[in-house]
Structure 1
Amino acid sequence: MLAIRLPEEIKARLETLAKRTGRSKTFYAREAILQHLDDLEDLYLAERAVKRIQAKEQTAGLDEVEARLGLAD
């Protein structure tokens, strides 16, 4: 079970969409989450990587990663 608080404007739009299409609000909330979860995860990982680079943590270049994975030519 997941409870989500939405701004009134978004809630009204969701209700209107659900009524017009005969689908439930839950259907559209689920669809939105499924479609955007990958993007949100990618964004989070990218932000973490930027912070590591800015903190001068040890990073590896493409050549080094390829070599570690046995992908180097």
Structure 2
Amino acid sequence: MAISVRLSPEDEQRLEQLAARTGRSKTFYVREAIHEHLDDLEERYWADRVIREWEETGKKSKPADKLWAELGI
């Protein structure tokens, strides 16, 4: 699948320099960055959703470890 990504001029320059220094393509590094950070992003947005759903139930807040235990995590 092809996608288009708009980078700031600074990020584009850094990416171009990295690719030139290493002999790898810019695409390689974009894929690496996505692969490296996708798990973190998924977890962050999953946690945001879980917290929002919890708050919408009207239940009182709890320490995170108790909340995670209740959610089976």
User: The TM-score by the shorter chain falls in which range?
Assistant: 0.7 to 0.9
- Note closer, same or farther for the CA distance 1:61–1:31 as it changes in structure 2 (3 Å cut): closer
For these two proteins, the number of residue pairs brought into alignment is 64
Structure 2 residues not aligned, in runs of 5+? 60-66
Distance 1:31 1:45 in 2: 22
Larger Rg: 1
What is the identity, as a one-letter code, of the residue corresponding to 2:43? D
Q: TM-score, normalised by structure 2?
A: 0.76
After TM superposition, the structure 1 = structure 2 runs for residues 5-20 of structure 1, keeping only pairs within 5 Å, are 5-20=6-21
Q: TM-score, normalised by structure 1?
A: 0.76
Aligned structure 1 segments of 4 or more residues deviating by more than 2 angstroms: 60-65
Shift of 1:50: 1.1
Is it true that 1:62 corresponds to 2:69 in the alignment? yes
The sequence identity of aligned pairs, in percent, is 47
- Note closer, same or farther for the CA distance 1:18–1:41 as it changes in structure 2 (3 Å cut): same
Distance 2:71 2:52 in 1: 21
Structure 1, residues 42-68: CA drift from partner, whole Å, max 9, x if none? 00100001111221267x873684xxx
Structure 1 residues not aligned, in runs of 5+? 66-73
Q: CA RMSD in A?
A: 2.2
